[in-house]
Structure 1
C-alpha cells in the first residue's frame, strides 16, 4: 500500500486527480464505441507524465476491460483459428521491439505517440472501407501484427494497424467487437511483459494500475448508458477529431 501511495506522491496529487479523470473519460469512450480506452488514456496521460509511466498505469484496466469484451460473443474459437498469425506477430513484435526500444521517457517517444494518434485519427475519419481477400489474411495479418507490436512497444498504443486490419475482414458486429477484445488483450499482455522486462512494471506500478480500474469501469458503465441515448456515429467522429488534436499537440509541443 505504501508503494502505491509513494507512486502517486511522486507524480503529485494534482496529477493523480488528472489520472482518475482520464480513466473515467477513457472508460466512457470505450463504453460508447467499444474501443479507445488505451488510446485516450495514453494520449491524455502523456500530457502529464512520461509514456512509460502511462503505459504501466494502463495494464490492469486495459487487461480486464478487454478480457470482459473478449469473453462476450461466443466466437472465440473461430477467431483464434482465423487471427492467430496477427496475434502471434503482435506478441513477437511487442516483446522483440521492447528489448531494443521500449516505452521510455525520452522526448521523441512522446512525439512518436502523438504521431501514432494522428495516423489513427486520420484513418478513422477518412480511410475508406477496405476488404481483405481470405487468401491474403495469413501473411498480411502477420505483417500487421508485427507492425502493431513494434508500435505498442514504442508508444503503448496498440490500435495501428491492427484495428483497420480487423475492420477489413468483413466480420459481423459481434465478431468484430470480440476480435478487438482479443487483439487488445494479447497486446496488453505483451506490453505488460515488455514493461516488466524493462523493470518498469513492478508491485507499485501494478497496484497503482489497479487503483484506476474502478474509474475506468465507472466510465464504461456511464458510456454504455450514454450509448443508448446519443448518436454513436457522431460521437465516434468527435472522438477521432479529439484524438487528432491531441496527437498534433503531443507531436509539435516542445518537451
Structure 2
C-alpha cells in the first residue's frame, strides 16, 4: 500500500498531484495520465504510476463518452483506428514490461516535448486519406503501441483528430470513447503481463478521492477562464516538466 511505503511528505505530494490530475481533466477534458507521469516520476517507478492511473481514467471517462449524441457517427468514421489502437496496446504493454523504467521515462519525456511543442507552435498535421481503413490501421497500431508503453493517449491520435475536423462536442465525445477503450485495454494487457495486481487496484480506488475533488474544481475553473488559455498553460507546464525529466536522466 502507498500509505505504508512512503513518508508523509511524499504522500501529501502524491495526494496533491492527483488533485491536479482531476483539475486538468475537469478543465480541458484530458491529461490525467500525462500529468501523473510527469509529476510523480520523481518519487515513484513509472510502471507503477502508469498502472495506478488506469482505473481512475476508465471511471472518469464513462460519463464523457456518453455525451454529445454522435456515438454512431464517431464509431462509423473511426472504427478501424479505435479497434487497432486498442488491440496494439498489448504489444506496447509487453515492451513496457521488458524495457528498463529509465528508458521508458526518456521515451515519455521525448513524446511530451514533441506534443507540447507542436501545440505551442500551432503546428498541425493532417493525415492523408484519414478516412481510409489502411491509414487508420497504421496510425491506430502506432498509437496503441505508444499507449501500452507510456499511457500517453494523444500521439499520434491528435493527427487523426485534426484531420476529422469535428466540432467541440463531437471531439469531446470521440476523446471520451477513445479514453474509455484505452485504459480498458491497458487493464486487460497489464493483468496478462503482471503489471497490475490487487494492491495497485486498491490504491487506484483510493486515489479516486483526490481526483474527483480535482474534477469538481476543474469544472468550476472551466467556466472562469478560456479553454485556450488553460490549454496553453497546460502544455507550457508539460514542456517544462519533460525538460526537467530529460535533464535528470542525463
Q: TM-score w.r.t. structure 2 length? A: 0.92
Structure 2 residue aligned with 1:69: 64
Q: TM-score w.r.t. structure 1 length? A: 0.90
1:170 aligns with 2:168: no
Q: Hey, what's the Cα distance between the residues in 1 that align with 2:26 and 2:163? A: 22
5+ long unaligned stretches in structure 1: 1-5
1:227 aligns with 2:208: no
**Contact between 1:111 and 1:252, CA under 8 Å: does it hold in 2?**
no
Match of 1:43 among 38, 41, 49: 38
1:211 aligns with 2:211: no
Shift of the alpha carbon at 1:64? 1.0
**1:135-150 mapped onto 2 (5 Å cutoff):** 136-150=131-145
1:93 aligns with 2:88: yes
Structure 2 residue aligned with 1:244: 239
**Contact between 2:127 and 2:159, CA under 8 Å: does it hold in 1?**
no
Q: Hey, what's the Cα distance between the residues in 2 that align with 1:205 and 1:249? A: 27
Q: Hey, what's the Cα distance between the residues in 2 that align with 1:231 and 1:100? A: 39
Match of 1:9 among 4, 12, 15: 4
RMSD, aligned CA: 2.0
1:81 aligns with 2:115: no
**Contact between 2:3 and 2:11, CA under 8 Å: does it hold in 1?**
yes
Aligned length, in residue pairs: 250
Q: Hey, what's the Cα distance between the residues in 2 that align with 1:234 and 1:77? A: 32
Shift of the alpha carbon at 1:32? 1.2
Q: Select between 207-216 and 88-97 the one with higher mean Cα deviation.
A: 88-97
**Contact between 1:114 and 1:251, CA under 8 Å: does it hold in 2?**
yes
Q: Select between 223-232 and 202-211 the one with higher mean Cα deviation.
A: 223-232
**Contact between 2:130 and 2:136, CA under 8 Å: does it hold in 1?**
no
Q: Select between 127-136 and 208-217 the one with higher mean Cα deviation.
A: 127-136
Structure 2 residue aligned with 1:190: 185
